[in-house]
């Protein structure tokens, strides 16, 4: 009897709570591709119909800029799907609310902030790759490169495009991975050599691959997800994972400190680490935080996971400014002198 009574009370209370949170709306900042957002919200609302998500979506740089600009007057409740390097920046500004989502322990350690409680949790990885246009490659008599070092060969001169790390997260991911893989000195030496072959640097990270897909350039340094998409659309692309290893960043989730909707925010973040959520991430991303969930994604290179380097996000975040300055000094001015 007592048991039943309790249950009923709980149900009633639960209903009451559900009703009261019905009105809860969360402002969620994200850099997830526009076409995926609807799906994300739908899936989430299947489990939690009482919370309405208002998306504020833009590219990584802009969302980051927006969040930093709003530092003293945060508008967002939750960040869901922004580069971890950006979240680290926000963490150091004290803008994120430390919170261990329920079930966080099930995630791959690589995908969770090392502080306790963690301030952010990763969703999926976003991995660098090289897009190679086979048709244009053939026309120009170019062999497909297999490693980063290959790209510095003289035959590729003027046939490579990569994103400018100063305006693209993907670009920065590449640069920081080279510095980690080849060491500071080796990394810069590599980039010096690569710079000789670069036709130009783009502002966005997906553009090199799209340009390669359109044959505007044979080789675009971009990320795997983009390449797979273009390939699915029928572009004559090979997605190459350089053998030295590839840099990556993850899309991650965090609660913005000072949110007035803490309960709902926690509910959302709890859900983002669930298995269902990770299955959902898997539609676009081959690598997700929840081990054992990932199924191969069409056109994704198979060896991607093992080639992902052990990325030191802290290094990347804390040296970001210095790296970018150095990069700008070396290549931004040099390339102008050429023209």
Partner 1 sequence: MSVTTPDELPKGRPLALKLGRDDLMMRGFILVIALYLIITLAFPLYAMLSKAFSAFHFDLSQIELQVSDAEGNFDGTILSAAALNEKLGTIPEDEIATSSDGRLGLTPLFPDFSFRSPVLYKIRGTTDDTVYLVGSDRITGTEWREVDSNTFRRIVLRPVKSVGLSNFTTYFSTPSLFRSIENSLFISIISTIVTVSLAFGFAYALSRSCMRLKGVFRLIAMAPILVPSLLPGIALVYLFGNQGMLKEVMMGESIYGPYGIVMGSVFFTFPHAFIIITTALAISDARLYEAAVSLRASAWKTFWTVTIPGARYGLISAAFVVFNLVITDFGLPKVIGGQYNMLAVDIYKQVIGQQNFEMGAVVSVVLLMPAFIAFAVDRQVQKKQVALLSARSVVFEPKPDRKFDRICFAYCSLIAIFIVGILAVCQFAALVKFWPYDLSLSLKNYNFDVMDGGGWEAYGNSIKLGLLTAFFGTIVVFIGAYMVDKTRSFRTGRGLFQFLAMLPMAIPGMVLGLAYIFFFNDPANPLNFLYGSMAILVIVTITHFYTVSHLTAVTALKQMDGEFESVAASLKQPFYKLFARVTVPVCMPSILDIAIYLFVNAMTTVSAVVFLYSTDTALASIAVLNMDDAGDVAPAAAMGMMIFYTNAAARIIHLAVSKGILKRTQAWRRR
Binders of partner 1 among residues 16 to 45 (CB under 8 A) are: 33-35
281 binds partner 1 (CB under 8 A): no
Which part of the chain contacts partner 1 (CB under 8 A), choosing from 108-116, 146-154, 184-192, 283-291? 108-116
Which part of the chain contacts partner 1 (CB under 8 A), choosing from 17-25, 161-169, 243-251, 272-280? 161-169
* Choice from 25, 68, 105, 153 touching partner 1 (CB under 8 A): 68
Cis, peptide link before residue 117, omega less than 30° from 0: yes
Nearer to partner 1 among residue 139 and residue 143 (C-beta)? 139
What three-state secondary structure class fits 298?
Answer: coil
* Choice from 82, 209, 268, 289 touching partner 1 (CB under 8 A): 209
CA distance 39 to 153: 43
* Choice from 10, 12, 22, 65 touching partner 1 (CB under 8 A): 65
Site string for partner 1, 167-206 (x = CB under 8 A): xx------------------------------xxxxxx-x
Token pair for residue 222? 């971009």
120-133 vs 248-256, strand pairing mode: antiparallel
* Choice from 123, 191, 211, 308 touching partner 1 (CB under 8 A): 211
- Cβ-contact 297, 282 below 8 angstroms: yes
Nearer to partner 1 among residue 8 and residue 328 (C-beta)? 328
Torsion of the alpha carbons at 232, 234, 237 and 243, rounded to the nearest 10? 10
Nearer to partner 1 among residue 100 and residue 294 (C-beta)? 100
Cα radius of gyration rounded to whole Å, the chain: 22
Q: Nearest 5°: phi and psi at 131? A: -95, 130
Which part of the chain contacts partner 1 (CB under 8 A), choosing from 44-52, 227-235, 242-250, 287-295? 227-235
Q: What is the DSSP string of 299-334?
A: T--TTHHHHB----HHHHHHHHHHHHHHHIIIIIHH
* Choice from 187, 208, 247, 284 touching partner 1 (CB under 8 A): 208
* Choice from 19, 45, 92, 283 touching partner 1 (CB under 8 A): 92
109 binds partner 1 (CB under 8 A): no
237-240 vs 120-133, strand pairing mode: antiparallel
Q: List binders of partner 1 among 299-318 (CB under 8 A).
A: 313-314, 317-318
Which part of the chain contacts partner 1 (CB under 8 A), choosing from 45-53, 175-183, 229-237, 259-267? 229-237
Nearer to partner 1 among residue 15 and residue 62 (C-beta)? 62
* Choice from 51, 78, 104, 113 touching partner 1 (CB under 8 A): 113
- Cβ-contact 300, 133 below 8 angstroms: no
Quick one: how far is CA 258 from the chain centroid?
25
CA distance 8 to 21: 19
CA distance 6 to 324: 60
CA distance 237 to 133: 5
Which part of the chain contacts partner 1 (CB under 8 A), choosing from 4-12, 42-50, 89-97, 301-309? 89-97
């Amino acid at each position: 009897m007592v048991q039943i009574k309790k249950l009923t009370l709980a149900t009633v209370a639960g209903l009451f709570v559900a009703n009261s949170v019905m009105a809860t709306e969360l402002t969620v900042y994200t850099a997830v591709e526009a076409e995926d957002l609807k799906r994300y919200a739908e899936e989430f609302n299947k489990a939690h119909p009482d919370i309405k998500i208002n998306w504020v979506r833009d590219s990584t740089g802009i969302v980051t800029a927006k969040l930093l600009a709003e530092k003293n007057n945060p508008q967002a409740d939750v960040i869901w799907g922004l580069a971890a390097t950006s979240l680290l920046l926000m963490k150091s500004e004290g803008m994120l609310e430390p919170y261990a989502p329920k079930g966080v322990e099930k995630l791959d350690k690589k995908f969770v902030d090392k502080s306790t409680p963690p301030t952010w949790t990763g969703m999926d990885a976003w991995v660098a790759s090289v897009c190679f246009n086979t048709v244009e490659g053939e026309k120009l008599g170019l062999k497909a490169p297999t490693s980063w070092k290959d790209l510095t060969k003289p035959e590729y001169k003027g046939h490579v495009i990569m994103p400018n790390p100063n305006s693209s997260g993907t670009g920065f991911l590449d640069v920081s991975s080279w510095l980690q893989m080849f060491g500071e000195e080796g990394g810069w030496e590599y980039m010096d050599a690569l710079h000789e072959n670069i036709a130009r640097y783009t502002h966005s990270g997906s553009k090199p691959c799209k340009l390669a897909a359109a044959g505007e350039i044979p080789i675009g340094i971009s990320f795997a997800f983009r390449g797979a998409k273009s390939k699915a659309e029928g572009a004559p692309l090979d997605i190459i994972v350089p053998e030295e290893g590839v840099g990556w960043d993850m899309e991650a989730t965090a609660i913005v400190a000072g949110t007035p909707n803490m309960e709902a925010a926690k509910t959302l973040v709890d859900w983002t680490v669930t298995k269902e959520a990770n299955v959902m991430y898997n539609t676009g991303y081959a690598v997700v935080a929840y081990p054992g969930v990932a199924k191969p994604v069409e056109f994704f290179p198979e060896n991607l996971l093992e080639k992902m380097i052990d990325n030191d996000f802290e290094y990347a975040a804390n040296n970001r400014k210095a790296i970018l300055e150095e990069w700008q000094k070396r290549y931004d001015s040099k390339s102008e002198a050429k023209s």
